[in-house]
Structure 1
């Protein structure tokens, strides 16, 4: 039962005393029937077209040594996209609006990039700390700035996704809460605003999953 406005973002909100909110993370698998993978259809061709486009774009960003690594980012894009879109349905917990899930995605990925880069391309990682043409007197400050900007990357990825998903959902919840207090003339106007917000939130759900995948691809290209 929703006890307050922010209960929609609380993973401990239960149903029949069972904490089932996190099950929404796997609901996306139920929307893909087995025939989707066995029988060619329009949905299959459309989704396959998107994946091929993403594969080509990620392969271009990674420059070289991709060797199938693009499928990691394609899988991450698909996972975040399903969770973002499912969160638009009523009474479904948006798992990507919780910092625990977004950090669980970005932090291990960033750590794997760092371990790979510092172990296999140590000289390249040191060179990347100081931009070309930096005066010697500014080199210590540039190393400090680059180190801080590198360390906060997983946090910025996680907060970007979480904040964007929370902002839209919170705005829609606030507007819908004013409906019972409005006249019938303003109800139609409110419904139109809610429809526009739903379209905007659908676009944000797609864009944010794409942005997270693109930024992760760019971060991986810097360690090669």
Structure 2
């Protein structure tokens, strides 16, 4: 298999399935296509039907979209606990992952993923604060109901945690401080060796995306 990614400094969607692959020890070749470069559009079209990253290539099959890739890996590697084993926990894990996948637009638009950077805390727009409040409430609820077996949303690390890892990074970048169980959860995600490895690789990149480098 090969996974095609965007710049690690900016591509939050690429981070999600990459974390799943790394955390569960799934062997996969890696290709990074730098975004906002003269050849980016053509390179992306060759790699992915959507012209976007990430994309997973497995023989003749191409799977695109972060959550679809994670679901494909869960189906392919059934011996690995990519989703919680308990049916109720698994259903909630899928629900919160889908909510991340389709929602929180204000957070994504106004607090772009800049894993290498940190800014002084500043007042959030009401719509961004609403997204933050919902995420923190969701984390606290998952930890309270399902988190007894480990430090993550459903105890052990799962796809759900990979889906929210870029949010943990955004909170650190913009000085957002979650409260309650959510605070300890965010620290556990940030401390993941795989996430720290992604950060180190992002710091080594020399590609620039000017639209993401303006000060917050």
Taking structure 2 as the reference length, the TM-score comes to 0.26
Structure of higher CA gyration radius: 1
The structure whose residues are more often strand, as a share, is 2
Q: Which has the higher contact order (CA 8 A, sep 6+)?
A: 1
Taking structure 1 as the reference length, the TM-score comes to 0.25
The structure whose residues are more often helix, as a share, is 1
